[in-house]
């Protein structure tokens, strides 16, 4: 690192992000391209703000990819993962295999010795998890068929890196020891793992033990731990715990020689049905976002333009060849696995680039003398350029190709969202929220429930309810709970001020949501009415009204008349509530107005005046008929 200090570095990177991403977004280029361009601009070939340390930063920022996979795991119920087994193994496996073979054949034709060509093929078969998922996510395409297939392939590639690492040294010209095969993936390829010398069976045992440990720990330990942390009501401690969890797993995986990304992904899947999931998601999300941004910037900064300028035609040709070969293989496989035409095109465009694992694997292969620097270095530039090209290819797909299929796609997307996101969010699951929720569930509507009392959650889960921990008035948590796709939000939290604040926040961030709010009393109801909340219920009004109706009956009023009187009372009282909420004036006029409204209501219910009793039983009263001449 240079001497300018950490702050200057941070300033340069953050400034680059803050300037470039909004501009890129405004131009419709997407954030990934914005970051990449920012990286190129601050990199050693344009402004020279950052130099050789770019690759250090990249190694650090790759942790963003680890976090991203953790978050993806959180979103992925084990049952969904099981459903994806065919695309993961079939589509993913074939993609790596076919791409590797095609590239190897082309490489051999171009004059490389076959082991070198095969190594290049295996490395170039990788795609960029970070760029693809971020771009798909930004375009809202993750839940389409193509999005799911792309995700499956990326997942397989992440897993495949491990055997590829084991296999590459065998391709070295003079057969090299396989000891390096247990080297760490992704974060620190240069450092050999400490237990690299262990016999294979011990190594295998260690790996299996760690994975099982993560699964068991995730299943049985996290829940009590999160509960204890949650009871402290200190948000930053919860965030710290979440970070600790991800970093801890990454370290453990690194120790046994597995990919930290894969480890945190597994941990995420294990925690996918945990009630603290949404809270974890919203705590990790900003770190992931920043680190991924940093990662994209460092990819941009690391593109070696000197090399590019020396052999521009070769490199441009290779980038195009790579994109075309990968696209062709992906498109063919997509059709073979029965994706329809538009989805196959999207699938092909999304994954037609080299991946960040490529950087690691190229340096690993060079160290193991599988590849010569003369072969590897231009290819690193090719991979970086192809990654930078992806957002552009996706844009071309959006603008030029997909419009031809527009109608079919829109319908499909709406369907899949309905399937995975619940239409109702209930904030606050106490005595009030529970009844609302039970009625909805009994009628087949799925609800997502948020509550911030750990004791309450524990109790509810014991009865088989699906409840998530968190302060429901936080926008990020609502976001994680699917507020964007939901249709209704029921606000039934105890804190009255916070309930009102929540209405303002939700109106601002999720204007499409219809709000149904529980009011503690009249004054609370006024607040909601003034904010135009669609449905407002005073928490004790309904039951008190029923009690009053029963009392009337016991006083000798016939049931039906008592019932109608209660309904009339309700309508008048609610009208008065609205009038009062919107009335302006000082305290005295308001009090006077309130008295008048009460008086009117009494008159309606008691008087024999025909005009006032309009809605009460006049039709069944034959007095007028008898007087008719």
The contact set with other proteins (CB under 8 A) reads 564, 567-568, 571, 614-615, 618-620, 624-625, 628-629
Kindly report the backbone phi and psi dihedral angles of residue 91, in degrees, each rounded to the nearest multiple of 5, phi listed first. Answer: -65, -45
Query: Is the CB of 554 or the CB of 614 nearer to other proteins?
Result: 614
446, with CB counted inside 10 A (0-12, 13-18, 19+), is: exposed
Cβ–Cβ under 8 Å, residues 333 and 94: yes
Residue number, 405 or 569, with CB nearest to other proteins: 569
CB of 619 to other proteins, least distance (A): 5
Least Å distance, CB 560 to other proteins, is: 10
CA 447 to chain centre: 18
User: Whose Cβ is closer to other proteins: residue 558's or residue 618's?
Assistant: 618
Whichever of 407 and 625 has its CB closer to other proteins, that residue is: 625
State the minimum distance, in angstroms, from the CB of residue 604 to other proteins. 12
| Min dist. Cβ of residue 564 to other proteins (A) | 7
Give the nearest distance from C-beta 582 to other proteins in angstroms.
21
Q: Burial-class residue 413 by CB neighbours within 10 Å (0-12, 13-18, 19+).
A: middle
Structure tokens given for 301: 């900064």
Q: What whole-number distance in Å separates Cα of residue 261 and Cα of residue 69?
A: 6
Q: How far is the CB of 226 from other proteins (least distance, A)?
A: 43
List of residues 6+ apart from 551 with CB closer than 8 A = none
Token representation of residue 528: 């909601």
Round to whole Å and give the CA distance between 473 and 610: 50
Rounded to the nearest whole angstrom, what is the least distance from the CB of residue 516 to other proteins in the complex? 17
In the complex, least distance from residue 610 CB atom to other proteins, rounded to whole angstroms: 9
Of 9 and 568, which CB lies nearer to other proteins in the complex structure?
A: 568
**Contact (Cβ atoms closer than 8 angstroms) between residue 525 and residue 579:** no
212 burial type by CB count under 10 A (0-12 exposed, 13-18 middle, 19+ buried)? exposed
- Least spacing, CB of residue 563 vs other proteins, in Å: 9
The structure tokens 């974890």 sit at: 280
307 versus 567: smaller Cβ distance to other proteins: 567
CB atoms within 10 A of CB 516: 19
Q: For helices 63-75 and 260-270, give the axis angle rounded to 10 degrees.
A: 20
Q: How far is the CB of 570 from other proteins (least distance, A)?
A: 9
- Residue among 330 and 562 whose Cβ is closer to other proteins: 562
Q: Minimum Å distance from CB 407 to other proteins?
A: 22
Could you identify the residue written with the tokens 């050693």?
44
First to last CA, the chain: 107
Reduced to 3 states (helix: H, G, I; strand: E, B; else coil), residue 358 is helix
Between 363 and 568, name the residue whose CB sits nearer to other proteins: 568
Smallest separation, CB 126 to other proteins (Å): 52
Q: Distance between CA atoms of 99 and 79, rounded to whole angstroms?
A: 29
Q: Measured between alpha carbons, how far is 171 from 535 in angstroms, rounded to an integer?
A: 69
Angle between helix 145-167 and helix 93-109 axes, rounded to 10 deg: 60
Quick one: 313 or 620, whose CB is closer to other proteins? Answer: 620
Nearer to other proteins, 255 or 568 (CB): 568
- For residue 576, give every residue at least 6 positions away whose Cβ sits within 8 Å of its Cβ, in sequence order, or none: 594, 597, 598, 601
CB 533 within 8 A of CB 515: yes
The nearer residue to other proteins, 201 or 620, going by C-beta atoms, is 620
In whole angstroms, give the CA distance from residue 349 to residue 336: 16
CB of 534 to other proteins, least distance (A): 17
Please give the radius of gyration of the chain, using alpha carbons only, rounded to the nearest integer.
32
518: β partners: 537
CA atoms within 13 A on the CB side of 470: 29
* 195 vs 575, beta carbon nearer other proteins: 575
**Interior CA angle at 296 toward 295 and 299, to 5°?**
90
Residue closer to other proteins (CB basis): 521 or 571: 571
């Amino acid at each position: 690192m240079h001497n300018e200090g950490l702050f200057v570095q941070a300033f340069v990177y953050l400034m680059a992000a803050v300037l470039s991403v909004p501009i890129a977004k405004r131009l419709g280029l997407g954030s990934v391209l914005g970051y990449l361009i920012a990286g190129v601009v601050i990199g050693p070939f344009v402004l020279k703000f950052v130099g050789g340390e770019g690759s250090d930063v990249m190694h650090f920022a790759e942790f963003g990819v680890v976090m991203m996979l953790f978050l993806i795991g959180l979103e992925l119920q084990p049952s969904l993962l099981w459903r994806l087994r065919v695309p993961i193994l079939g589509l993913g496996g074939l993609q790596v295999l076919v791409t590797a073979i095609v590239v190897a054949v082309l490489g051999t034709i171009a004059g490389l010795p076959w082991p070198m060509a095969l190594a290049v093929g295996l490395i170039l078969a990788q795609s960029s998890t970070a760029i693809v998922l971020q771009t798909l996510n930004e375009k809202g395409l993750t839940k389409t068929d193509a999005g799911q297939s792309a995700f499956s392939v990326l997942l397989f590639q992440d897993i495949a890196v491990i055997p590829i690492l084991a296999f590459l040294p065998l391709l070295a010209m003079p057969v090299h020891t396989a000891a390096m095969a247990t080297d760490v993936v992704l974060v620190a390829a240069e450092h050999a793992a400490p237990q690299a010398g262990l016999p294979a069976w011990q190594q295998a045992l260690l790996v299996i033990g760690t994975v099982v440990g993560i699964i068991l720990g995730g299943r049985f330990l996290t829940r009590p731990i999160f509960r204890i942390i949650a009871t402290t009501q200190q948000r930053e401690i919860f965030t710290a715990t979440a970070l600790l969890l991800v970093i801890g797993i990454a370290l453990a995986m690194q120790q046994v020689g597995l990919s930290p990304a894969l480890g945190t992904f597994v941990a995420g899947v294990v925690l996918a049905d945990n009630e603290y999931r949404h809270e974890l998601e919203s705590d990790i999300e900003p770190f992931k976002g920043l680190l991924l941004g940093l990662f994209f910037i460092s990819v941009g900064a690391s593109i070696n333009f000197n090399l590019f300028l020396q052999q521009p035609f070769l490199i441009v040709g290779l980038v195009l060849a790579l994109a075309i070969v990968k696209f062709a293989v992906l498109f063919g496989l997509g059709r073979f696995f029965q994706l329809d035409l538009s989805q196959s095109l999207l699938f092909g465009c999304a994954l037609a680039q080299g991946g960040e694992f490529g950087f690691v694997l190229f340096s690993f292969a060079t160290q193991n003398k599988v590849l010569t620097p003369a072969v590897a270095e231009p290819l690193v530039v090719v991979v970086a350029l192809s990654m930078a090209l992806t957002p552009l290819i996706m844009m071309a797909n959006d603008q030029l190709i997909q419009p031809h299929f527009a109608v079919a796609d829109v319908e499909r997307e709406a369907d899949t969202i309905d399937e995975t996101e619940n239409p109702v969010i209930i904030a606050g699951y106490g005595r009030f929220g529970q009844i609302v929720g039970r009625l909805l569930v009994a009628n087949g509507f799925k609800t997502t429930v948020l509550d911030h009392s750990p004791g309450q959650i524990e109790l509810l889960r014991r009865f088989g309810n699906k409840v998530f921990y968190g302060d429901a008035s936080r926008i990020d948590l609502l976001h994680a709970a699917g507020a964007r796709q939901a249709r209704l939000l029921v606000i039934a939290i105890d804190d009255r001020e916070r309930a009102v604040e929540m209405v303002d926040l939700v109106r601002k961030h999720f204007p499409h949501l219809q709000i149904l709010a529980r009011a503690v009393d009249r004054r609370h109801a006024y607040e909601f009415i003034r904010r135009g909340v669609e449905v407002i219920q005073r928490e004790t009004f309904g039951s008190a009204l029923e009690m009053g109706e029963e009392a009337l009956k016991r006083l000798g009023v016939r049931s039906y008349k008592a019932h109608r009187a209660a309904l009339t009372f309700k309508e008048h009282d609610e009208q008065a509530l609205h009038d009062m909420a919107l009335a302006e004036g000082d305290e005295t006029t308001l009090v006077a107005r309130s008295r008048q409204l009460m008086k009117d209501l009494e008159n309606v219910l008691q008087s024999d005046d025909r005009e006032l009793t309009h809605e009460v039983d006049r039709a069944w009263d034959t007095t007028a008929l008898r007087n008719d001449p």
